[in-house]
């Protein structure tokens, strides 16, 4: 903890605020409005403390996600670097599962590529070296759900809010690194049978492997590593799309089959 003006107790209390907002689907004002001393590093402390609260409730840590990996999203937020969040067992859906719209603040969905790590990955690393630790690659849909009122937040707020993580689905087709060139896979996300976003895996931090390496390097700065078995969501390949009750979302990713989710009331 490096912030001289925020104590461990302050961090715990901010973690309780974001955690409760997600649990109760009760949007909150951005944390930085009342706590301007909150900085990026401390926001990651708040994120980690909010994840500890989930683990205490019996959830398990299953992986991590990268966010703001596309040029479009970085420009939108006025930033130059991606962010990360944590994934827990309660966020993981089976292919075709439903999420409940009323249990989300403003849910949106985006098409992603996911990695499954076969070995511990410790930064510093490079894209090529990181990929040597990957045992499987699949498609994924990520539901993001910022807990902030009126969708107003800064980068620091998003990090504290676990990079808006909510739910994710992995496709059932799992390919090996040797088997599939993931540098430029076509990705089409359909809602109710209509294509709503068309993109390429190249939009994920220019290459999903770069995103994986960047994650390992970012967590290494905090003395952490990515353990074998972790799922890593590399980031959105297109803009996110707002979800409505009744929506049926399918991602078709070249070489990686399909994955889908539905939205109930």
List residues binding ligand 0L1 (CB under 6 A).
67-68, 73, 142, 144, 146, 158, 163-164, 236
* Joined tokens for residue 106: 């403003």
The partner in contact with residue 107, picked from Mg ion, ligand 0L1, none with C-beta cut-offs of 5 to 8 angstroms by kind, is none
When asked if residue 111 is in the footprint of Mg ion (CB under 5 A), the reply is: no
Compute the least distance from the CB of residue 239 to Mg ion, in Å.
Answer: 11
Point out the residue whose Cβ comes nearest to Mg ion.
Answer: 142
254: DSSP letter:
T
Q: Which is nearer to ligand 0L1, 54 or 167 (CB)?
A: 167
Q: Which is nearer to Mg ion, 208 or 236 (CB)?
A: 236
Point out the residue whose Cβ comes nearest to ligand 0L1.
Answer: 67
Helix residue spans in the chain (DSSP H): 8-24, 31-34, 40-56, 71-77, 127-131, 155-160, 208-220
Binding mask of the shown chain, residues 202 to 241, with x at each position contacting Mg ion by CB under 5 A: ----------------------------------x-----
Compute the least distance from the CB of residue 68 to Mg ion, in Å.
Answer: 8
Q: Which is nearer to ligand 0L1, 114 or 163 (CB)?
A: 163
> Residue 109 region, left (φ>0) first, then alpha (ψ -120 to 50), else beta?
beta
Compute the least distance from the CB of residue 163 to ligand 0L1, in Å.
Answer: 5
The secondary structure of 98-146 as a DSSP string is EEEGGG-SS-EEEEEEEEEESS-B-SS--HHHHHTTEEEEEEEEEEE--
* Joined tokens for residue 227: 């353990």
Compute the least distance from the CB of residue 9 to ligand 0L1, in Å.
Answer: 27
Half-sphere exposure of 153 (CA within 13 A, CB side): 25
The partner in contact with residue 158, picked from Mg ion, ligand 0L1, none with C-beta cut-offs of 5 to 8 angstroms by kind, is ligand 0L1
The partner in contact with residue 208, picked from ligand 0L1, Mg ion, none with C-beta cut-offs of 5 to 8 angstroms by kind, is none
Residues 132-171 that bind Mg ion (CB under 5 A): 142
Compute the least distance from the CB of residue 142 to ligand 0L1, in Å.
Answer: 6
Helix residue spans in 146-207 (DSSP H): 155-160
The phi and psi torsions of 163 (rounded to 5 degrees) equal 55, 40
The partner in contact with residue 164, picked from ligand 0L1, Mg ion, none with C-beta cut-offs of 5 to 8 angstroms by kind, is ligand 0L1
Based on the number of CB atoms within 10 Å of its own CB, is 95 exposed (0-12), middle (13-18) or buried (19 or more)?
middle
Q: Which is nearer to Mg ion, 7 or 81 (CB)?
A: 81
The phi and psi torsions of 10 (rounded to 5 degrees) equal -65, -40
> Residue 255 region, left (φ>0) first, then alpha (ψ -120 to 50), else beta?
left
Q: Which is nearer to ligand 0L1, 87 or 144 (CB)?
A: 144
Q: Which residues bind Mg ion (CB under 5 A)?
A: 142, 236
């Amino acid at each position: 903890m490096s912030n001289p003006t925020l104590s461990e107790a302050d961090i715990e209390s901010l973690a309780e605020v974001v955690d409760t907002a997600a649990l109760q689907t009760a949007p909150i004002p951005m944390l930085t409005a009342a706590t301007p001393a909150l900085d990026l590093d401390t926001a990651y402390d708040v994120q980690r403390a909010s994840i500890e609260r989930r683990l205490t409730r019996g959830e398990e840590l299953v992986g991590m996600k990268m966010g703001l990996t596309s040029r479009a999203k970085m420009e939108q937020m006025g930033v130059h670097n991606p962010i990360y969040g944590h994934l827990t067992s309660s966020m993981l859906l089976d292919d075709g599962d439903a999420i409940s719209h009323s249990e989300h603040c403003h849910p949106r969905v985006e098409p992603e590529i996911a990695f499954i790590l076969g070995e511990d990955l410790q930064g510093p690393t490079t894209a090529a070296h990181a990929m040597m630790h990957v045992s499987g690659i699949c498609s994924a849909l990520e539901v993001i759900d910022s807990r902030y009122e009126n969708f107003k937040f800064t980068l620091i707020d998003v990090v504290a809010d676990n990079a808006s993580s909510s739910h994710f689905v992995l496709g059932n087709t799992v390919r090996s690194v040797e088997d599939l060139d993931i540098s430029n896979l076509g990705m089409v996300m359909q809602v109710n049978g209509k294509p709503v976003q068309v993109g390429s895996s190249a939009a994920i931090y220019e290459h999903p492997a770069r995103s994986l390496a960047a994650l390992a390097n970012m967590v290494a700065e905090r003395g952490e590593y990515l353990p074998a078995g972790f799922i890593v969501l590399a980031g959105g390949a297109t803009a996110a799309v707002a979800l409505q009750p009744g929506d049926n979302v399918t991602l078709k990713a070249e070489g990686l089959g399909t994955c889908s989710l539905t939205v109930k009331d």
